[in-house]
Structure 1
Amino acid sequence: MPEPDEQELGPQIADAFQSKAHTVQGLRSAGYAAEARRRVHRRRQRLTMAAAAVVVVAAIGGVWGVIGGPSPVTTSSTAGSAADNGSKMAPGAPAEATVVCPEQHAILAAPTHEALPSGDGLDLDHAIVFGLEVCRYRLEGAQMLLGSAHFNAATAQQVVDAIKVLPERNPSLPVFKCTPQTARPKEAIVLRFDTATGIREVWVGYDGCSSAGFFTGTRTYGLYAAPLKLFMTGTVRPAGGIYLDHLKGW
């Protein structure tokens, strides 16, 4: 067979390479376009999901925060629990402790630690108490509040129960013959009980030489160690006293 002319083959080969190049370029262009469309589609999906999430969060924002934390709005179960707790409190119980030790107290001006006005005293036989503030005062010289301590309702009731069973006088304590100058105690303690009708007090005498005990304005209870051990602590615990020096176990 006669061999093709080189002049004819040249253009044919060139056309073939050019056609191949166009085909490859077309395939690449098609692939790039498909990949671009796929990425755009995925981006639109993410934006749509994010927008939906924002709408849901905004809709329930009163109950849940954007980060999923609980809302401060009180739920019905929480309110029910609070109501149940409140129903278990004693009638007339204050929401929080209201008894405090005043810097200036009536005992500082009273002639003796027995002179508690009857209207301010606590009726121990019928007392329901919600708390106790113990106040220790210096009565002689530079009068002042020496210390204070707070006790909860349970301890306050224990103090009441421990005092109300006592006799009027502790016969184991000595009886002193006093001059007016030595009769007045150097210090005393005031028990301020929180009750449904306000603050009611018991004055505690353990120094001086005229009398000792728990005074309510209408009754006197002897000085015994059992009640003292319940509240004589910290700054309200005396270093001593004429009657305390003869009382064991306090």
Structure 2
Amino acid sequence: MPEHEPEQELGPKIADAFQTKADSARGFRSQGMARIARGRVRRRRQTLIIAAATVVVAVSIGGVWGAIGGPSPVSTSAGDSKAAAEGSGPLSDSPQAPSEDSGTACPQSHPIETAPGPEAVPPGTGLDVEQPVYGLQACRYRISPGDPMLLGSAGFNADTAQQVVDAIKVLPERNPDLPVFKCAPSARAKEAIVLRFDTSRGQREIWVAYDGCASVGFFTGSRTFGLYAAPLKLFMKGTVRPAGGIYLDHLKGW
């Protein structure tokens, strides 16, 4: 019978103990790595949640800022660029002024031909001399009863038109240098001039009387200005310039 040796019994026990220790260590390492992985996943999830919350807050603040009048975002689309270009253009509704001496806008017949006199401008037709003007057509008419007609015409640009208005609106109601006639009932004017101004409210007129005996001056229907040479020189040109007139014959400088 072989002799029992203690070393032979301790050897397997020690080996089993070491193996159990190693297994336990591996188990602990596996659990530790799992915990680390789960911790990393949780931190990443928290980071994503915080980032999303930050975006939501930023969008909310941006909406409130826009609502209370903060700077609006600048659009670079072609449509917005076109709208901005159109919006930056002039806001004026003024009509286009005719070219100098166009002479094409005067009607062949006009109410002045049948009016009681060159001072009888119809309501709503006369020019407010404080209103800006953008062009002028000067039309000379023969207003003799039974033989009315357009005698001459000329077109003037905005600058000249405004000069005419500015020269008229400072005049008194009567020129004291002109004579006062005792007029017979039949002493009607043979001709007169209509000044047709382009304005933002449409065409408005001033009637000019320089012949006959009863009426003389510039008439708007609501105001009367005396006959002076300064405005006449600006538009009495070409076929608009009369050969004479009862009052013109006594007026110098026209």
Q: Structure 1-normalised TM-score?
A: 0.63
Letter in 1 for 2:94: A
Query: Superposed, which structure 2 residues align to 1:125-144 within 5 Å?
Result: 126-140=130-144, 141-144=146-149
Aligned pair 1:91/2:96, yes or no?
A: no
Of 134-143 and 153-162, the range deviating more from structure 2: 134-143
Structure 1 counterpart of 2:202, from 184, 198, 202: 198
1:173 maps to 178
Q: Structure 1 unaligned segments of length 5 or more: list them.
A: 1-78
Q: Secondary structure at the match of 1:122?
A: coil
Q: Secondary structure at the match of 2:177?
A: coil
Letter in 2 for 1:137: Y
Aligned pair 1:242/2:246, yes or no?
A: yes
> What is the alpha-carbon distance in structure 2 between the residues aligned to residue 137 and residue 228 of structure 1?
16
Identical residues among aligned pairs (%)? 68
Query: Superposed, which structure 2 residues align to 1:213-232 within 5 Å?
Result: 213-232=217-236
CA deviations over 1:36-61 (Å, ceiling 9, x no partner): xxxxxxxxxxxxxxxxxxxxxxxxxx
1:111 maps to 116
Deviation at 1:83, TM superposition (A): 7.1
Deviation at 1:118, TM superposition (A): 2.9
Q: Secondary structure at the match of 2:198?
A: strand
> What is the alpha-carbon distance in structure 1 between the residues aligned to residue 229 and residue 123 of structure 2?
25
Q: 1:94 to 1:246 in 2, by over 3 A?
A: same
Q: 1:121 to 1:131 in 2, by over 3 A?
A: same
2:106 maps to 101
Deviation at 1:97, TM superposition (A): 3.7
Q: Secondary structure at the match of 1:148?
A: strand
Q: 1:230 to 1:95 in 2, by over 3 A?
A: closer
Q: 1:86 to 1:153 in 2, by over 3 A?
A: farther
> What is the alpha-carbon distance in structure 2 between the residues aligned to residue 219 and residue 158 of structure 1?
18
> What is the alpha-carbon distance in structure 2 between the residues aligned to residue 86 and residue 149 of structure 1?
31
> What is the alpha-carbon distance in structure 2 between the residues aligned to residue 229 and residue 133 of structure 1?
15
Q: 1:176 to 1:96 in 2, by over 3 A?
A: closer
CA contact (8 A) 1:118 1:216 kept: no
Q: 1:167 to 1:94 in 2, by over 3 A?
A: same
Q: Secondary structure at the match of 1:230?
A: helix
**Count of residues in Structure 1 that have an aligned counterpart in Structure 2:** 166
> What is the alpha-carbon distance in structure 2 between the residues aligned to residue 194 and residue 142 of structure 1?
28
Aligned pair 1:161/2:166, yes or no?
A: yes
Deviation at 1:84, TM superposition (A): 11
CA contact (8 A) 2:97 2:135 kept: no
- Rg comparison, structure with higher value: 2
Q: Secondary structure at the match of 1:160?
A: helix
1:5 maps to none
